[in-house]
Amino acid sequence: MRNVILSVLFTFMFVLLSNGCKKNDATAPDPPATGNLIGSVELRNENGDPASSYNAVTVSVEGTNLSSQTDSSGNYSITGIEQGVRIISFSKNGYGTYKSRINIDGTPYQYINLELYKLPSFNVNQLSAKIITNGIELTGEPTNSVHYPRGVVVFAFTDSTVCSDPSKYLYANNSMIYPDSINFTTSATVYELLQKGFKSGQTIYFVAYATISYNYYTNYFDWTYNKTVYTCISNTPSNKVSVKLP
């Protein structure tokens, strides 16, 4: 009987010790691998001239609480970004917001350098549309005249919700407004519109936004809708017009 009791006690102690060893041997999962991002941002006005200071641009990693602000020289750095494809946003009040897609691969430092341009100080209005040979002609007016080139971006969609949002346009066209001009004219061919998904006989809705002549520096690609995002455009759009596609 004494031997049985000793055997049970020994077995019980062995189980306790074994479980304790398992707990002590367990290792915590490795923390996710991270990388670092550094770079610089230059600020420019409508005419492309540099600002006196490049400070206070917010650089943030979308989907996280990681962010940084540029110093007076435009420099920034963000550390501890988890590996993977990340969207980096660059924004400052009064300037077009730019977004960049980057694969954080765990290398010590990765770089994004860019320029942000000031939003246009004018709007466009009096937009009108008419059928011309092989297409549609659009005309309008800038709200003021200046001595340097500017631009206008026209968007087209299937209904009156048309705007610059990538989900709300099928066609976009960027044209120049020449120095001292009091109006602009641009056009879309029937072929271009059909290629974008419109159909003959369909009513197409148009709207226009003012932009700076340098806006091609500030555009980026929207990876959800596979379209261009025009960031450096006026906050206020023109009136909307519609016309039936021949």
- Count of CB atoms situated within 10 Å of the CB of 104: 20
Range of the domain at 80: 34-117
* Whole-angstrom Cα Rg for the chain: 29
Residue carrying structure tokens 């017009």: 241
Could you tell me if 196 and 217 lie in one domain?
yes
What's the CATH code of the domain at 202? Answer: 2.60.40.2060
pLDDT in the model for residue 12: 45
* Alpha-carbon gap, residue 61 to 63, rounded angstroms: 6
- Whether residue 124 contacts residue 238, with contact meaning beta carbons closer than 8 Å, is answered with yes
86 shares its domain with 108: yes
pTM score of the predicted model: 0.84
Q: What are phi and psi of 164, to 5 degrees?
A: -80, -10
Position 17 scores a pLDDT of 45
> Is the CB of residue 39 less than 8 Å from the CB of residue 113?
yes
Residue 174 domain-assigned?
Answer: yes
Residue 135 and residue 108 in one domain: no
Alpha-carbon torsion 179, 143, 228, 55, what sign? Answer: positive
Question: Is 188 inside a domain boundary?
Answer: yes
Q: What is the predicted pLDDT for the residue at 169? A: 98
In a domain, 8, yes or no: no
For 211, how many CA atoms within 13 A lie in the half-sphere containing its CB?
25
Within a domain: 199: yes
Q: The tokens 């707990």 sit on which residue?
A: 23
Residues found in the chain: 246
Kindly give the confidence (pLDDT) of every residue in the chain, 246 residues in length, as a single tens digit, with 9 standing for 90 and above. 444 444 544 454 444 445 554 445 556 667 779 999 999 999 999 888 999 999 999 999 999 999 999 999 999 999 999 999 999 999 999 999 999 999 999 888 999 999 999 999 999 999 999 999 999 999 999 998 878 889 999 999 999 999 999 999 999 999 999 999 999 999 999 999 999 999 999 999 999 999 987 666 789 999 899 999 999 999 999 999 999 999
**Listed residues 117, 132, 149: the one ending a domain:** 117
Domain count, the chain: 2
- Residue 146 has what pLDDT? 77
Q: Which helix (H) or strand (E) holds 7?
A: helix 2-25
* 58 & 145 share domain: no
Q: Quick count: other Cβ atoms within 10 Å of Cβ 162?
A: 23
The strand ranges marked E within the chain are 34-44, 58-61, 67-69, 75-82, 84-91, 98-104, 110-111, 114-117, 124-132, 135-142, 150-157, 171-177, 184-189, 203-212, 220-222, 227-229, 241-244
Does any domain span residue 148?
yes
Strands 114-117, 34-44: pairing kind? parallel
Boundary residue ending a domain (96, 117, 138):
117
**Geometric angle at alpha carbon 131, from 126 and 136, rounded to 5°:** 70
Q: What is the reported pLDDT for 19? A: 54
Give the per-residue pLDDT at 80: 96
Q: Can you tell me the distance from the alpha carbon of 217 to that of 214, in angstroms, rounded to the nearest whole number?
A: 6
- Sheet architecture: strand order including 203-212: 171-177, 150-157, 203-212, 241-244
